[in-house]
Amino acid sequence: MAIEDDVCVIGGGLAGMTAALRAAREGARVRLLSHKKSTLRHASGLVDILGYDDDELVANPFDALASLPESHPYRRVGGDAVRAGLSLFDDVTGDAYRGNHTDANALVATHGGTVKPTARYPTRVAPGLASQDRKTLLVGFDSLTAFDAPLAADHLAAAGVPGTTRGVTVGFPGDFRADSRVTRFARALDDDETVEIANGSMPVRRALARAVESHLGGAERVGFPAVLGEEESGAVREALESSLGVDVFEVPMGPPSLLGLGLEALFQEALDEAGVRRTTGNPVVEFDASDERIRSVSTDRNGRPTPFHADEFVLATGGLVGKGIDSDREEVVEPVFDCYVPHPDDRYEWFADEAFGDHPFARFGVTVDDDLRPLDADGRTEYDNLRAAGGVLGGVDFAAEKSGSGISLATGHAAGRAAGAATNQ
């Protein structure tokens, strides 16, 4: 029997999940197709709206939106859509995130020892904000090489953060392999496993507090790499705070990022509650269109196509990282619908010479109209019932201006609302 829905969203990242959720709230029957693990496992878990505008650090992203170039996705959807996307985000994440009490950006310490402007931050991160004038101790683990706490502390001090920042490296208590993944530490803390230490054994939360205790000095807060539990992170932090007698926070980390994965889990829970049907594991490889409308897309399941029919489609397959935009030596393409992706013919014009230069490749993506419908090379709508959201959109280097999550939320929200509304007509 044919699979039929009102709205079909392709791509299970932040933009796709937001679009699916928003469309479902319009009362639509929604299908979310995702192929591989989403790129949220690479993401810090911070939700940035806009951190830099023309190289200037932005204190209030909402003030800066209007001055962005016309081609910017935020200009396409408008400032209200940015707020609406964030509001949906706040609703989904509830107590797990902070930052909705103000329009101002927060500055969060990164594991590389800089501070990063961001609009929403996990509650686990909140006590660590750089603008608080407090004595801070950063704690790293000697087998977790991605976070060198003494170095990060020196970087932060050199950046002039208020208060004092010290760093110390300790061994994670217990007999873990030198190459344990962060999830192994997190699980041990979730379960409060009993670990062997120098003189006997004790639960790992207590053992960790004990390992840090003697380094406290006069610290008013202690920051750990973001490995303090997956399921029970609140309990882990509370246990450490009560043992140490100070606030405990976490520093966002690179992949695999527990904060990014945690964010994904919150959205998936909301999707299930909203009745969104999720189909995962197979790529969309072809589609059927007539009269300038997409009729169905098909996933490839071991060589057999499975068609999914819908009235409205949302393309949220991500950018270069998630392969929503792909390339070979000759050209850059959007592989699902072959939407137009502007790019120079000569691939030696795709990059800047400096590592952090103004890379054209970072802006690769589809161009859209004000309703987020992809445009062809002549500026005409590709399909009447196809909208694009998130990283697949071009015209912006989200990494340089720190806007990736914000764009996903704002455009995901706008695309989902429009798609849902269209099916009601």
Partner 1 sequence: MATETEALVIGGGSTGCGIARDLALRGVDTTLVERGNLTHGTTGRMHGLLHSGGRYAVSDQESAAECIAESRVLREIASHCVEMTGGLFVQLPADDDEYFEEKLAGCRDCDIPAEVISGEEAREIEPYLTRDVERAIRVPDGAIDPFRLCVANAADAEEHGARIETHAEVTDVLVEDDQVKGVEIRHESGPGKRSHHEPGTTERIEADHVVNATGAWAGELGAMAGVDVEVRPSKGVMTVMNTRQVDTVVNRCRPKGDADIIVPHETACILGTTDVEVEDPDDYPEEQWEVDMMIDTLSELVPILGEARTIRSFWGVRPLYEPPDTGTTDPTDITRQFFLLDHADRDSLAGMTSIVGGKLTTYRLMAEQITDHVCEKLGVEGSCRTAEQPLPGSEDFSVLRDYMEEFGLRSPIGRRSTERLGSKADEVLKTDDPNPVVCTCEAVTRAELDHAIADAGTDLNATRIRTRASMGNCQGGFCAHRIAALLHPEYDEATTRTALDELYEERWKGQRHALWGEQLSQAMLNHALHATTMNRDRYPAASDDGIEYDRFDAGPPTPEAAADGGRRDDAHERADSREDDHGD
Residue 229 Cβ, how far from partner 1 at the closest point, in Å?
A: 15
- Give, as ranges, the residues between 337 and 366 that touch partner 1 (CB under 8 A): 346-348, 350-351, 353-356, 359, 361-362
Element (H, E) at 63: helix 61-64
Between 304 and 329, CB nearer to partner 1: 329
**Closest distance to partner 1 from the beta carbon of 204 (Å):** 16
Q: Cβ closer to partner 1: 345 or 378?
A: 345
| Count, residues near partner 1 per rule CB under 8 A | 91
Start-to-end Cα distance in the chain: 26
> Is 232 a residue that touches partner 1 (CB under 8 A)?
no
Q: What angle do CA 348, 350, 353 make, to 5 degrees?
A: 70
Please identify, using beta-carbon distances, which residue of 131 and 279 lies nearer to partner 1.
131
Per CB under 8 A, the list member of 36, 66, 67, 146 interacting with partner 1 is: 146
Residue 232 to residues 78, 177, 184, 188, 254, Cα–Cα distance (Å): 38, 23, 14, 10, 20
Per-residue CA distances from 156 to 92, 152, 164, 167, 314 (Å)? 32, 6, 9, 10, 41
Angle (CA) 167-173-179 rounded to 5° is: 85
Q: Rule CB under 8 A: is residue 87 a binding residue for partner 1? A: no
- CB of 278 closer than 8 Å to CB of 12: yes
DSSP string, 292-327: TEEEEEEEEETTEEEEEEEEEEEE---STTTTSSEE
Q: Which of residues 100-139 bind partner 1 (CB under 8 A)?
A: 100-102, 104-107, 110-117, 123, 126-127, 129-132
Q: Does 246 bind partner 1 (CB under 8 A)?
A: yes
CB 112 within 8 A of CB 147: no
12 binds partner 1 (CB under 8 A): no
- Scanning residues 391 to 410, which ones bind partner 1 (CB under 8 A)? 398-400, 402, 404
The mark string for 301-330 relative to partner 1 (x by CB under 8 A, - otherwise) is ------------------xxx-x--xxxx-
Does 183 contact partner 1 by CB under 8 A?
A: no
152: how many CB neighbours lie within 10 A of its CB? 23
254 interacts with partner 1 by CB under 8 A: yes
